[in-house]
Amino acid sequence: MNKHEKKHSSVYDLPLDLKSQQKAQGENLKSIAKGNLRLYHPQKNNKIEFIELLRKRINRHIASSMVACVHCGLCAKSCHYALARPLDPTMTPVYKADQIRQVFKKHIDITSRLIPWWTHARSVQCDEDLNRLKNVVFGTCSACNRCSFNCPMGVDTASLIRFTRGILTELGIVPEGMFNVSRDQWETGNQMAVSKEDYRETIAWIKEELQDEKVTTQIDIPIDKENCDFLYVINPREIKFDPRSIADAAKIFNRGGESWTLTNWGWDQTNFGLFSGDDKLGAYVAKNVYESAIRLKAKRIVISECGHGYRSTRWEGYNWADYMQDIPSESVIKTLKRYLQQGCIQVDPSKNPDPVTFHDSCNIARAGDLIEEPRWILNKICAEFREMHPNRQENFCCTGGSGLLSMSEYKPLRMEVAKIKADQLKATGAKQVCTICHNCVDGLSDVIQHYHLNMKVVQIIELFANAMVI
């Protein structure tokens, strides 16, 4: 830890918490036996392995971002960490990226290897250094990609952060929360360890509730139905904490006369592989979804509201799994827009009278393709839509991105830098902030609570279901 890190933040000296890893080892988990879920081994030469993995995994995209940075410092003007802590030099994206860049320069860069002291090239010396690096890449960056979009050179710092996370994950040097969720996703196929029974029971319960409501004549939530127009994949949070969103989706799909289905396996569209940098986990989870769609002969995959889930399932998953996309996939937002455009569902915006603003999820606005669609829908289903500034590709992160919600040790810093987001929300004067990401729902809820904002977080599917004319 250098003097700047000592002076400015308590994040860098957070130790590696191994309680969950030790417990998992004692349970002889399948994913550990297969070598999928990686554990930390202090007796191994992790330094050498780190450098070997760096060498092995680097691709042209990452290598070019390693060498292209000119240290102009402009990225600091776009990062919510750096903006909230302007006097802390360790919060700038360039500083964070340099922690891996220096190792790259020392061992891989063709010219810096010759004169390492001239370019700040240096190696990792021990596991302490790797733990410090863990705290930098997991604890001080939400990989929101804002700096990459604002770099004149096009340096992709968010990808460098994910790349480093992936190597550390392979060595078991990960925050406990990240380890736990990855373990659950490897072991159960979903990130919240929802059992098959719980899944089926929750769906059956939602179905009963909907039938009691009698909002439409016939409501069905099919599971494993073949030859449907689409397979609907969801976030486990919807099963565990927010079944309302599945009920709303069912109402809307039934109203729209859709032929759709859920699946018994491969229903989790979220993917912690994106956050941990573990492409193997990313491939495994995404492939479960793609293969379910094939098995059920679905014509397309529809992804429920989720930022990183959409990015992983629609975009990154195919690359991780080396799987050529064969079935079209889309966000449920596009499905909803189609219903409105085709006139198969009528809505009454006065049913959502409170002013609503929209928060663009980083994983969608800067890594996906849904920017105007949610706004188009909100203008149809709400009485008053207010734009947040900045917005679209320039929006600020909810502060809970990249798995930070699961890493409680970094929460104090996360809440401190959330001031940028809180100010942005407050300036809209809206009573509701809408987002199409479950992660952002929790991230924004934390911000609202911490900064005592008079606002609630909603999602489009909820507002849409509410606005439907029955």
In the complex, the residues that contact another protein under the rule CB under 8 A are: 4, 58-65, 67-71, 73-78, 82, 86-87, 89-90, 92, 94-95, 98, 110-111, 114-115, 117-120, 148-156, 314-315, 318-319, 322-325, 328, 330, 334, 337-338, 341, 365-369, 371-372, 390, 393-394
Residue 81 main-chain phi, psi, to 5 deg = -65, -50
* Angstrom distance (rounded) from CA 171 to CA 167: 7
CB 469 to another protein: min, Å: 23
Q: Which is nearer to another protein, 33 or 110 (CB)?
A: 110
Q: Which is nearer to another protein, 98 or 305 (CB)?
A: 98
The distance of Cα 169 from the centroid of its chain, to the nearest Å, equals 17
Residue 49 main-chain phi, psi, to 5 deg = -65, -40
Q: Which is nearer to another protein, 118 or 205 (CB)?
A: 118
Q: Which is nearer to another protein, 312 or 406 (CB)?
A: 312
* Angstrom distance (rounded) from CA 183 to CA 382: 40
Q: Which is nearer to another protein, 66 or 219 (CB)?
A: 66
CB 366 to another protein: min, Å: 7
Residue 53 main-chain phi, psi, to 5 deg = -65, -40
CB 298 to another protein: min, Å: 16
Which residues lie closer than 8 Å to 188 by C-beta, 6 or more apart? 194, 195
Q: Which is nearer to another protein, 83 or 383 (CB)?
A: 83
6 CB neighbour count, 10 Å cutoff? 12
Query: What is the Cα Rg of the chain in Å?
Result: 23
Q: Which is nearer to another protein, 204 or 344 (CB)?
A: 344
Q: Which is nearer to another protein, 324 or 469 (CB)?
A: 324
CB 126 to another protein: min, Å: 22
CB 429 to another protein: min, Å: 23
CB 345 to another protein: min, Å: 16
Which residues lie closer than 8 Å to 85 by C-beta, 6 or more apart? 8, 91, 416, 417
CB 253 to another protein: min, Å: 17
Q: Which is nearer to another protein, 366 or 421 (CB)?
A: 366
* Angstrom distance (rounded) from CA 173 to CA 175: 7
Tell me whether residue 56 is exposed, middle or buried, using C-beta atoms within 10 angstroms of its C-beta: 0 to 12, 13 to 18, 19 or more: exposed
Strand order in the sheet with 456-459: 385-386, 356-359, 432-435, 456-459
| Both tokens assigned to 339 | 């219903």
CB 293 to another protein: min, Å: 14
Give CA angle at 183 (178, 185), nearest 5°: 100
Q: Where are the alpha helices (DSSP H) in 305-395?
A: 307-310, 317-320, 332-342, 362-365, 373-381
CB 263 to another protein: min, Å: 21
* Angstrom distance (rounded) from CA 10 to CA 135: 10
